[in-house]
């Protein structure tokens, strides 16, 4: 298989927008989780919502963004659904970060993977509330916008991508599924570059209520909002809804070398498997299988592994199951391998989570630190090596896994290797 590296990244979260700001949030433990204003009408008290995102303003903040790219982005996305606008901001950051605005690649050799499904639930809900009794006035543009492939079209137009493009879905594992699909495009020789976007799932009150009813979501603030999300803590009570998007530019090593671009990290191996389970209950066996396969594909042993960015949602059963899987994989190495959960800072960003957490993993590797696991006052397993809640830990990480698991028994894990920095 061809060597695959990451050459650009872009991120939009409630904790920080852009890699520089997001890295500062990770290092300081700055949380984006807060009280949800009643006028949001989502039926939840606490969340990590994007309340200060403006397409044109955020595009103008991107260093070296070419005027023609800005113009295309504004024209294609200014009336697009909010989820698509957030994807455009992150993708433009990653595109420029990879230097693709200066050192171009044949557009037919650039692929695009939008990771996520059911991205515009809030849009459909709001339009139903407004036009349910007078459908003749429904905007025709909804015929495009309710399709997740709308984002493929918008992003390909802005970035002038002419290679393969598609959407992939894997529930909360979608971001990792997108990275795996992108790596396969490059590994097979179908592309030299693949832009992978973990897209924001913009939920309506219907989905949030259903997740709350099934016991997965922590929607009510029984304590200060910043203390509600508690991955791996004894007092955890479910995940906190987060909004955000992450974009990574994957590239063959030979293409990056030809363009003179320094890789940020290497995507060393990955795995995706099912555990034969239609319910929402996690399966430690399937999760362990994914981690073992990712390490094997990366030609790493558990003794080589420094750190795992966990799925770590803060759900009662999910955290227990993931730790069971981690302990089964690491065995005697469990006490020396660092663990944390980025969701303690940004909430659970659902279909975007895997991409955002891959970016968090790489930023920590390059910054030689590990971010705090917020609100971890009473760890559910004293035998595991969690990063504490108090602050970042200076750690040199050369190899890492990033886990993402989804409803329907979808298990994924990706291995990253440091490229310096």
Integer Cα distance of 48 and 53 in angstroms: 13
Buried b (16+ CB within 10 A) or exposed e, 372-393: bbbbbeebbeeebbbbbbeebe
Q: Kindly report, residue by residue over 109-144, the tens digit of the pLDDT.
A: 999 999 999 999 999 999 999 999 999 999 999 999
Which residues are bridge partners to 47 per DSSP? 34
DSSP string for 1-20:
---EEEEEEEEEESS-BSHH
For the segment 347-359, the average pLDDT, to the nearest whole number, is 98
Per-position DSSP letters for 38-88, written without gaps between them:
GGG-SS-SEEB---S--HHHHHHTSTT--HHHHHHHHHHHTTS-HHHHHHH
Return the C-alpha torsion angle 55, 56, 59, 61, nearest 10: -120
Q: What is the pLDDT of residue 417?
A: 98
Q: Residue 117: what pLDDT?
A: 96
Confidence of residue 39 (pLDDT cuts 50, 70, 90): confident
Task: Give one DSSP letter per residue of 276-295, joined into a string.
Answer: S--SS---HHHHHHHHHHHH
Kindly report, residue by residue over 67-92, the tens digit of the pLDDT.
999 999 999 999 999 999 999 999 99
pTM passes above 0.95: yes
The whole-number pLDDT of residue 393 equals 87
Helices (H), 172-268: 174-187, 205-213, 253-259
Question: In whole angstroms, what separates CA 337 from the centre of its chain?
Answer: 22
Predicted confidence (pLDDT) at residue 420 exceeds the cutoff of 80: no
How many secondary structure helices (H) and strands (E) does the chain include? 14, 15
Q: What average pLDDT does range 270-285 have in this prediction?
A: 92
* Mean of pLDDT over the chain: 96
Q: Which domains does the chain have, with CATH numbers?
A: 4-265 (3.40.47.10), 269-418 (3.40.47.10)
Averaged pLDDT for residues 177-182: 98
DSSP conformation letters of 388-400: PSSS-EE---SEE
Residues 251-265: what's their mean pLDDT? Answer: 98
């Amino acid at each position: 298989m061809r060597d695959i590296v990451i050459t650009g990244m872009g991120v939009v979260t409630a904790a920080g927008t852009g890699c520089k700001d997001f890295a500062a949030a990770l290092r300081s433990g700055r949380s984006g989780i807060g009280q949800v204003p009643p006028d949001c009408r989502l039926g939840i008290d606490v969340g990590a919502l994007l309340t200060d995102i403006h397409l044109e303003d955020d595009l103008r903040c991107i260093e070296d963004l070419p005027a023609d790219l800005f113009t295309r982005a504004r024209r294609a996305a200014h009336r697009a659904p909010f989820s698509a606008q957030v994807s455009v901001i992150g993708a433009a950051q990653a595109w420029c970060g990879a230097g693709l605005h200066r050192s171009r690649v044949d557009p037919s050799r650039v692929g695009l993977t939008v990771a996520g499904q059911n991205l515009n639930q809030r849009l459909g809900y709001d339009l139903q509330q407004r036009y349910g009794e007078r459908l003749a006035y429904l905007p025709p543009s909804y015929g495009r916008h309710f399709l997740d492939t709308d984002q493929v079209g918008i992003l390909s137009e802005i970035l002038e991508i002419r290679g393969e493009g598609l959407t992939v879905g894997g529930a909360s594992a979608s971001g990792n599924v997108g990275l795996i699909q992108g790596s396969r495009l490059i590994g097979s020789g179908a592309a030299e570059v693949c832009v992978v976007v973990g897209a924001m799932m913009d939920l309506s009150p219907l989905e949030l209520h259903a997740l709350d009813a099934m016991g997965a979501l922590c929607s009510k603030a029984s304590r200060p909002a910043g203390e509600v999300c508690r991955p791996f803590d004894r007092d955890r009570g479910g995940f906190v809804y987060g909004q955000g998007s992450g974009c990574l530019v994957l590239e063959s090593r030979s293409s990056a070398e030809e363009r003179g671009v320094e890789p940020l990290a290497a995507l060393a191996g990955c795995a995706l498997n099912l555990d034969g389970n239609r319910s929402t209950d996690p399966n430690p066996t399937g999760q362990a299988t994914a981690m073992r396969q990712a390490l094997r594909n990366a030609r790493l042993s558990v003794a080589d592994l420094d750190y795992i960015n966990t799925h770590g949602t803060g759900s009662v059963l999910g955290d227990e199951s993931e730790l069971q899987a981690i302990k089964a994989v690491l065995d005697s190495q469990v006490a020396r391998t660092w663990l944390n959960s980025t969701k303690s800072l940004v909430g659970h960003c659902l279909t975007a989570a895997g991409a955002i957490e891959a970016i968090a993993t790489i930023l920590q590797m390059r910054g030689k630190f590990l971010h705090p696991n917020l609100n971890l006052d009473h760890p559910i397993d004293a035998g595991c090596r969690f990063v504490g809640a108090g602050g970042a830990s200076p750690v040199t990480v050369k190899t890492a896994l990033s886990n993402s698991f989804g409803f329907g028994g979808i298990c994924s894990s990706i291995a990253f290797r440091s490229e310096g920095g």
